[in-house]
Chains A and B, each alone.
Chain A
Amino acid sequence: MQGYFNQIFAIVWKDFLTERKTRELFSSMFVFAVLVIIIFIFSVDLSITRANEVGPGVMWVAIFFSGAIGLNRSFMLEKENGCMQGLLLTPADRTAIYFGKLISNLGFLTLMEAFILPVFMVFFNIDILPHLFPLLLVIFLGTLGFCAIGTLLASLAANLKTRDIMLPILLYPLMVPIAIASVRMTGEILAGEPLSEMLNWMGLVVCFDFIFIGAAVMTIDHILEE
């Protein structure tokens, strides 16, 4: 068991080291997310609609769009110079590779969210500080679900010729439940509702997370098989 965690940690550490040297992924994800928010602000007239109602949707769209870039990138790096081959040749378990990638994707996306939340707060004039804890919980659960299914599909799409297009096409319809639940919960939290009012949504997201991590663990062997 200790060895298994070491394998996962090694993959996560490798990804963070690469990112620290190149600094490609984080900057592109963050700038892209800010751009998505700005485009939405231009296309929705905030003087007519209430920021509280549009805001959560815009924030999650920015997270999902830039998240897809990050997912694509994480496996594209492995494809270059045959790194994936090397990774598969190591005695690491296939599920350890999945969890390693999942954790590093989750880490990058969470880091990006930490920077995008203040931007969101400023641009939409929404005070999120009183609701910070439930908001962070909802964002974490939603991001986990997104990364769970996203890492599985990205590992699959990486081997396709048209990976840039195929990943969003496969990913977005499948994460509709996460999108609806996260936007709904974020909206309700910003409106001041307590977490206990949205237990059904919470349950749905937790189910989503578990089902797709489970499905990934069971099927990843068949994808990472060369």
Chain B
Amino acid sequence: MAEENSSKEISSSQGGLFWLTAGTMLAALIAIYVWVPTEKNEGIIQRVMYFHIPCAWLAFFAFFIVFVSSILFLWKKEREWDIYAHCSAEIGVIFCSLVLITGPIWARPVWGVWWVWDARLTSTLVLWLIYVAYLMLRGQTEAGSIRARYSAVVGIVGFLDIPLIHFSVLWWRTFHPKPKVISSEGLGKGMDPSMLITLGISLAAFTLLYCLLMGRRVALERTKDEIDRLKREKLYSS
């Protein structure tokens, strides 16, 4: 009975989060397509930025959560942290893929090429490869303590590698526009206020989306565990 109540509570709080995310997402869409003025130089294609940057932010944030959960798992050895790392890595890879897809769509009309071997593009691609390998590792090991420990180690090592990858490809070559949102002149000086507000709404919408997806995915993984447990119980009792 108590379990039923708690599962209902989870679903109702998820419901609240769902409507909040949907509302913010709608506001972001209206802001992007109706409210914000078109950029002067790049034209309509510049609006892809309001998806590109939030996806990138979300991917990095998700990988950071993988890192933190992996450390906490190795420290506390609780299944809970393993679930968080796994779910966050999946979401991170999806949004990292979206960054790699929206990037060329934006680059083609603006730079004239789909892809350049620029620092940020290269490091995002390498990051994507690392976490795809992480998910492959998870897929190839059987569920249990070994899988959790191994993937935690890769989750930690992968994130530690990010600054090194960043500097190596930065010195290698770079074309990407200098960061405009957080520039040396101060926060948001490189952009029109309306564009900044739109980007802010979009970032908020994507962050909420992460929380929503994460909640759903974690609940799914817990259900899987529960089913496994029940299966084993029935198998041995009969």
- Which A residues are closer than 8 A to B by beta carbons? 149, 152-153, 156, 159-162, 166, 169-170, 172-174, 176-177, 180-181, 184, 200-201, 204, 207-208, 211-212, 215, 219, 222-223, 225
Asked, given contacts A169-B136, A219-B74, whether A152 binds B157 with beta carbons under 8 Å apart, the answer is: yes
**B140 x A161 contact (CB < 8 A):** yes
B133 CB within 8 Å of chain A: yes
- Binary interface encoding of chain B residues 130-169 relative to chain A, with 1 for a CB under 8 A from any of its CBs, else 0: 1001001100110000100110111011101100110111
**B164 x A223 contact (CB < 8 A):** no
**B137 x A166 contact (CB < 8 A):** yes
What's the minimum C-beta distance from B149 to chain A, rounded to whole angstroms? 5
Nearest to B145 among chain A residues (CB) is A225
Which residues in A have their C-beta under 8 angstroms from that of B156? Answer: 215, 219
**A176 x B126 contact (CB < 8 A):** yes
**A204 x B140 contact (CB < 8 A):** no
- Which B residues are closer than 8 A to A by beta carbons? 74, 126, 129-130, 133, 136-137, 140-141, 146, 149-150, 152-154, 156-158, 160-161, 164-165, 167-169, 171-172
CA distance A40 to B25 in the complex (A): 51
**A176 x B168 contact (CB < 8 A):** yes
**A180 x B168 contact (CB < 8 A):** yes
Give the 7 A-B residue pairs with the shortest CB-CB distance, closest first. A177-B168, A173-B129, A177-B164, A180-B168, A173-B130, A219-B153, A222-B149
What's the minimum C-beta distance from A214 to chain B, rounded to whole angstroms? 9
- Tell me if A's interface is mostly helix, strand, loop or mixed: helix
What's the minimum C-beta distance from A59 to chain B, rounded to whole angstroms? 18
**B137 x A225 contact (CB < 8 A):** no
Which residues in B have their C-beta under 8 angstroms from that of A160? Answer: 137, 140-141
**A170 x B133 contact (CB < 8 A):** yes
CA distance A225 to B149 in the complex (A): 10
**A211 x B130 contact (CB < 8 A):** no
Which residues in A have their C-beta under 8 angstroms from that of B130? Answer: 173-174
**A204 x B153 contact (CB < 8 A):** no
- Subset of 27 A-B contacts with CB under 8 Å: A152-B157, A156-B150, A156-B153, A156-B154, A160-B140, A161-B140, A166-B140, A169-B133, A169-B136, A173-B129, A176-B126, A176-B161, A177-B167, A181-B168, A184-B172, A201-B171, A204-B171, A208-B164, A211-B160, A212-B160, A215-B156, A215-B157, A222-B74, A222-B152, A222-B153, A223-B149, A223-B153
Which residues in B have their C-beta under 8 angstroms from that of A177? Answer: 161, 164-165, 167-168
